[in-house]
A and B are shown apart, each in its own frame.
Chain A
Amino acid sequence: QQQVRQSPQSLTVWEGETAILNCSYENSAFDYFPWYQQFPGEGPALLISILSVSNKKEDGRFTIFFNKREKKLSLHIADSQPGDSATYFCAASEGGSNAKLTFGKGTKLSVKS
């Protein structure tokens, strides 16, 4: 049973558009949700994260919207650039001493110019 699910598997947007990547989870004990960006041949890079006590987190062009009741979150990438083309992973952890991350399968984003 997959504890963290992402959709869509792949997404193509035009330069300047807002890309919306979705994530949902099963475990109510999850309280920390980071998003990672990964380019081919590299390790995942932490992009932005949110704690379950918040419903929104912004960092530049990247915004997380979080709905605890529905166990859903989304990553919005505003003014998408070709350099944003990468695979994005949603992850979750219970925090505290149980710090291991559970990852979704990723969304591959392509930004066309």
Chain B
Amino acid sequence: NAGVIQTPRHKVTGKGQEATLWCEPISGHSAVFWYRQTIVQGLEFLTYFRNQAPIDDSGMPKERFSAQMPNQSHSTLKIQSTQPQDSAVYLCASSLMGGGEQYFGPGTRLTVL
């Protein structure tokens, strides 16, 4: 049983470009979470879907960041007009029903030059 899959593992963009990050949750899991990890801020919650519906986006920056879950097998995090401060490891996690155990993918390291 594959774990959470995230692609790409590394992405380098120039300032002002768009970045799209992909997440495939564990098969059968109905909840998908996005987090961001930096040295300074640590692990921060961004947004959360359950049964493909957005439940909580309280951690998402108000501008330039958006997330979607078009079907139960994948979610995307899009960052428009990337800035150097967006450089981080973006982590996706899934859980069976929302509450309880969350399983993380390996992350996508985004570097904005």
Contacts and interface: CB of A to CB of B under 8 A. Distances in A.
Interface of A: 32, 34, 36, 41-46, 49, 89, 91, 93, 95-106
Interface of B: 4, 6, 31, 33, 35, 42-45, 48, 55-56, 58-59, 91, 93, 95, 98-107
In the A-B complex, the 8 residue pairs with the smallest Cβ-Cβ separation, listed nearest first, are A43-B104, A103-B43, A100-B45, A99-B98, A99-B99, A105-B42, A95-B99, A43-B106
A46 B101 contact: yes
A106 B42 contact: yes
9 contacts: A32-B99, A32-B100, A36-B104, A41-B106, A43-B107, A99-B99, A100-B33, A100-B58, A103-B44
A46 B102 contact: yes
A49 to B, nearest CB: 7
